[in-house]
Structure 1
Amino acid sequence: MNLAEGKGTSYLAIPSRTTWEVRSCIMTDSKAVARWRRQIAVVLAIIVATASSVVFSPAPRVSAATYNPLKAIQYANQWWNKRNPKFQSYGVGDCANFVSQCLIAGGLNLRASSSANRSGSIGECVNLDVFLTKTLKATVWKTSSRSRAPTGLQLGDVAIFGNWLGLRHAVIVSAKQSNGQPLFTAHTFDRKNTTLGWLFSAWTYVKYYHIVKGPITVAVASKPAASAKTAVVTPKPAVSAKTAVVAEPAVTSRSSVHAAVLDPQLESVKPASLVTTLAPSLVMFTSAVLNGVIKPDSQLVLWFFEYGVSETYGFATNKQGPLLGNMTNDIHFAVTGLQPDTLYHTRLVGVALDGRLTAGPDTTFRTAATQPAAATVGD
């Protein structure tokens, strides 16, 4: 410490910063600023990337071809009088939410709708209507008729009932009656397989939505059905059909489709008491009514008949159903285009939800040898 003299006063001399020290401070400050700027740039880049993904990323794609109506119905049967905790609940107004859940269980992505809630379902009937018509491009019928639903309405399709307040109550087609008319399952007033008449006791009109979906695939053998030594008769063109479960044999007919059929030794096909083939009835010159019995055992079951001139069959009728519950169902299906005076083999096959096949025992019949003479009217 130096003591300076002057006019009787004294003070301490403080050394000043060197040029190097000043430059070092400036360089340190510049690095801090550069680091701060880099951090800001990274944050901004993250914000821009996130905003771009939200604004410019396409909405989830949804295709009706992925829809499996049997899985939707299976979900409806499981949850018709309960609430699935995986989904948001709407209390007494849960109808559209429940139908949405059934559609999701069937393989549809409802998040493609801007109205989907956090659990992925749609809670309002009007928004469900928009999704079905605009996104799925469903076939729509609107009617105030209380008598019959459109014949094109199928299992897994949707109906929304309304009144002067608008669309108010959504239901799903969960079964069909023997006359072809649908039965509906719904929430809010929890109902399973209720009739059209009951719903019209509360509403004045309805919109029906047919979801154009892919066919239900059945596992079949890939090899040709008939052997080289067996002549297979091609059926005549299709006529009108009556294939519902009825008490009496069908009187109208429909020719069946030529298809790759089941190998009699296919492991997944096992005869069981749940599916029984009965002797055909009304066996005529070129036609017969194929008969059988199915007991679904609380599972949804589709069914079809195989038939042909050997136990490799060669033809299969179109799949019908599904059948529900534990009731024993009498099955009848009329086929045409048969060969006269020919021995035919046939069997009834049940199709489970997972594609498993259960075949009834093989049964034979012989078509008539001659065409029945036409009746004449006397004078």
Structure 2
Amino acid sequence: MNSAEGKGAPYLAIPSRTTREERSCTVTNSKAEARWRRQIAVVLAIIVATASSVVLSPAPRVSAGTYNPLKAIQYADQWWNKRNPKFQSYGFGDCANFVSQCLIAGGLNLRASSSADTRGCIALCMNLDTFLTNTLKATVWKMSSSSRAPTGLQPGDVAIFGNWLGLRHAVFVSAKQSNGQPLFNAHTYDRKKTTLGWLFSGWTYVKYYHIVKSPVTVAVAPKPATSAKTAVVAQPAVTTRSSVPATILNPQPEPVEPESLVTTLAPSSITSTSAMLKGVIRPDGQPALWFFEYGASETYDYATDKQGPLLGYVTCNVDLAVTGLKPDTLYHTRLVRVAPDGNLTTGSDTTFRTPEAPRTGIPQD
């Protein structure tokens, strides 16, 4: 017994079996750990690869050299009073969004801006200013309301108007007048071929952004030339500004049908310096404001104050006297209806001519 205990055979047999089991468990754990490490390595590799692609991938390239202003202008003329379902609509504050759409139609990628929405447009004027200035590197002019637009401004360029609150209203340069001044298309107050004058009635300064590298000619003359030999004479600049937007009509506007909401009638009581402007409005169940636009050309450099509202469904005859006209001058006028949402409906262009100023008699001795 003592001899067996001295040899320790029974005592040593059990630890020997335990050691083999432990070794087996150790091998199994090592394999599991190896698989776990491989899985972790794969996951880390995927994370690193994804992060590298995000960090190292270049931002979308934006270059004014790829910009096609003609396509942008065509888009502006097509969608100036509609909302393209391919893009988001921002309701009453859709101006920067509309200008963004024009630029996209011209071939620019606005997704380079961190402020772009899911459709690739920039909805705020301040963010659009940052994109045009810092990313696109457009030539920028900042001018007050007393300054004329720079001659370098071209159709296809952009302007953003502002006041003490900052940049507030973005518009797209869709054409130029024969005197070199721009015409604008815009959303919010949906306008086509709008002149500078009315914009400065609400804003105190403007920033112009020159993008176009290969200018296109989209000029709008006061009157079309009747022959190749007939020169087009530009209308003189008007110092009095309209308090509301003004729009250029087509040279031959479509006739207004009797059932339309707005009809411009021929003025009456015309003198050398005044006239009674007249028209017909159908409120169509919604409160409707109205005013007249008038001027020596279809740019309508003047506008009366807003009148109304008119209510109900009854057709209303409206008239308003204007003074300060020039003798022996052909004037254009039209009636404009303002819906509650700000949308404008215009009557057809109507013309009238003021007579010559009466001659005063010279007293005889």
Offset at residue 115 of structure 1 (A): 2.0
Q: Distance in 1 between matches of 2:224 and 2:86?
A: 45
Match of 1:169 in 2: 169
> Aligned pair 1:184/2:184, yes or no?
yes
Say if 2:63 is the partner of 1:63.
yes
Which residue of 1 is the match for residue 298 of structure 2? none
Q: Deviations over 1:190-214 (max 9, x none)?
A: 2222111111121111111111424
Return the offset for 1:30. Answer: 1.7
CA RMSD of aligned residues (A): 3.2
Residue 87 (structure 1) aligned with residue 87 (structure 2): yes
Q: Kindly indicate whether the alpha-carbon contact (under 8 Å) linking 2:175 and 2:193 is maintained by their aligned counterparts in 1.
A: yes
Matched residue, 1:357: none
> Normalising by structure 2, what TM-score?
0.54
* Maintained 8 Å contact 2:145/2:200: no
3-state SS of paired residue (1:65): helix
Amino acid at match of 1:159: A
Deviation at 1:183, TM superposition (A): 1.2
Q: Is the 8 A contact 2:157 2:212 kept in 1?
A: no
Q: CA deviation at 1:168?
A: 0.5
Cα deviation, residue 57, structure 1: 2.5
Identity of aligned residues (%): 79
1:47 deviates by 1.4
Q: Which residue of 2 aligns with 1:275?
A: none
**Alpha-carbon spacing, 1:114–1:193, altered in 2? closer, same or farther (3 Å):** same
Counterpart for residue 256 of structure 2:
none
Aligned residues: 224
Provide structure 1 residue ranges, at least 5 long, that are not aligned to the other structure.
1-13, 217-242, 250-277, 283-288, 290-322, 329-379
* 2:29 match: 29
Residues 1:202 and 2:207 aligned together: no
C-alpha distance 215-142 of structure 1, shift in aligned 2 (>3 A):
closer
Q: Residues 38 and 181 from structure 1, CA distance in 2 versus in 1: closer, same or farther, beyond 3 angstroms?
A: same
Structure 1 residue aligned with 2:133: 133
Q: Which stretches in structure 2 are left out of the alignment for 5+ residues?
A: 1-13, 232-247, 254-365
Tell me how far apart the structure 2 counterparts of residues 29 and 210 of structure 1 sit (CA, whole Å). 69
| Aligned-partner residue type, residue 138 of structure 1 | A
> 1:122 corresponds to which residue?
122
* Residue 32 to residue 120, structure 1, CA distance change in 2 (3 Å): same
| Partners of 2:224 and 2:101 in 1: CA distance | 38
Q: 1:93: how far off?
A: 1.5
Mapped to 1, the partners of 2:43 and 2:28 lie a distance apart of 23
**Match of 1:112, as an amino acid?**
A
Q: Which amino acid aligns with 1:176?
A: K
In the alignment, the residues of structure 2 paired with residue 129 and residue 49 of structure 1 have an alpha-carbon distance, to the nearest angstrom, of 35
Distance 1:150 1:215 in 2: 14
> Is 1:48 matched up with 2:45?
no
Contact 1:66 / 1:213 at 8 angstroms: preserved in 2?
no
Give, in angstroms, the shift of residue 215 of structure 1.
5.9
Distance in 1 (CA, whole Å) between partners of 2:214 and 2:159 is 20
**Structure 1 CA distance, aligned partners of 2:88 and 2:102?**
14
Cα offset for 1:19? 6.0
Secondary structure in structure 1 of the residue aligned to 2:209: strand
More helix by share: 2
The answer (yes or no) to whether the contact 2:154–2:212 under 8 Å persists in 1 is no
Offset, 1:244: 6.4
When normalised by structure 1's length, the TM-score is 0.52
